Amino acid sequence: MKILIATAYDYPHAGGLSTHVTTLKSGLESLGHEVDVLSFSNVPSSTQNLYAKGPSFILNKLKKGKGIVWSHKARKRLLQGLIEKNKDKQYDLINAQDPFTTLAALETGIPTVSTVHGYMTFESISKGSLDENSPEASFMKEIEIKAYKGTRKIITVDTRLKDYVKEVSGAEGNAIRNFIDIHNFKPDQEYKDQFRDKHGISKEDNVLFVPRRLTKKNGVIYPALAMPKIIEKFPNTKLIYAGSGEALSEIKKIVEEHKLHDNVTLLGAIPHEEIKEFYALCDVVLVPSVHSAGVEEATSISALEAMGSGSPLVACAVGGLKEIVNNKEDGLLVEEKNVQELADAVNYLLENPEEGQRMALKARAKIEEEYSHIAAAKKYEAIYKSALAK
């Protein structure tokens, strides 16, 4: 098949959706399909600023939510234009990665399958981009429903999203949990010292790694809040964040209040290839997701990457994380927003590194068996064929 994966967001970018697209493309190509990716990044930057980003910025100054609605509408129109320009490539199918892209794809007449990665409206409310129960939030929800009802097939990245789609639109989805490239994310702990030298990290330090966008639902403030309890026992512990987002200022405030400047490093968004080096050089990976404005973690790609990379994992027991981590078998689960539990779990792994390695080995075996990008691509392929047979 000739497949176009499309999104009204940027690609590549730091985040799970971009990682998903890259990994799915790799899996489908390994099955012999031809795959292209088209995104908002393919729109010239001057056009982006003139029609989407500029007006959005101004409208948001007038009323919260007006800007994001304008931006999404503009992105849809611009992406639709790009798809129309590429029609000569004769794609068999478009796999849209968000509701606005679904609507853009449907208007081109090309058979469309939609992947649902999250709760678009609720996530915008959680980030503070929309006010709950506002006309703008209602509009975004209507877009979601229209997209779910209009597409030929729906794929959701976990069972809760499948239930959500059914509840709001009546449309039936197919749950395929997120996945990783098991050849790309593999245990590289033999290079631990080498990577620490490269990134200027002492071999004597305990390193905690948070590979998350700095957004509210990812619970990124809680590792910083737990650090005083951790360094009380292990003073030579460093906490490293790799990500950017609106929670950055809150983390900086916590660092300032608790005088953690020597213990916390904020890398910002870093290349995905570099993320792998931090999985290998760290002692514990933290995925501290929380419920936020009705949003909860799906099948976290960061958690899967950590497990695939042979890194001991501590995650919060919310959403899809409860589905992929068996507590005390292949990782540790703690109560969300519970700073003491988070600190205790980290301290336990630092005190008992052999237990962390035992769980990490089991986690890697699970990833190979259940979360391979090749196995997932075969499931996508079957749904694509089903959609084309409609």
Kindly give, in sequence order, each residue whose CB lies less than 8 Å from that of residue 188, ignoring residues fewer than 6 positions away: 195, 276, 277, 279, 280, 309, 310
Report in angstroms the alpha-carbon separations of 32 from 26, 117, 365.
10, 25, 27
Kindly give, in sequence order, each residue whose CB lies less than 8 Å from that of residue 138, ignoring residues fewer than 6 positions away: none
What pLDDT is attached to residue 14?
66
Q: What CATH number should be reported for the domain whose range is 189-370?
A: 3.40.50.2000
Taking the C-alpha atoms of residue 353 and residue 97, their distance in angstroms, rounded to an integer, is 39
One DSSP character per residue, 6-38 reads EESS-SS-SSHHHHHHHHHHHHHHHTT-EEEEE
What pLDDT is attached to residue 272?
84
Class for the domain spanning 2-179+372-388: alpha beta
Which H or E run contains 305? helix 301-308
Q: How many helices (H) and strands (E) does the chain have?
A: 17, 12
Mean pLDDT, each 10-residue run in order, the chain (390 residues) = 97 84 96 97 96 94 94 97 97 98 98 96 90 96 98 94 96 94 92 97 97 93 98 98 95 97 96 93 97 73 95 94 94 98 98 98 94 94 95
What pLDDT is attached to residue 390?
77
What pLDDT is attached to residue 319?
85
Q: Which tokens hold the place of 239? A: 């906490």
Ordered by start, the domain boundaries in the chain are 2-179+372-388, 189-370
Q: What is the pLDDT of residues 127-156, one digit of tens each?
A: 889 999 999 999 999 999 999 999 999 999
Taking the C-alpha atoms of residue 74 and residue 54, their distance in angstroms, rounded to an integer, is 11
Say if residues 374 and 27 touch (Cβ distance below 8 Å): yes
SS3 347: helix
**Does 189-370 match 2-179+372-388 at the fold level?**
yes
Taking the C-alpha atoms of residue 333 and residue 225, their distance in angstroms, rounded to an integer, is 17
Report in angstroms the alpha-carbon separations of 312 from 321, 334, 381.
14, 14, 33
Which H or E run contains 186? none
Q: What is the pTM of this model?
A: 0.78
What pLDDT is attached to residue 170?
97
| CA nearest to 304, candidates 375, 224, 230, 238 | 375
SS3 146: helix
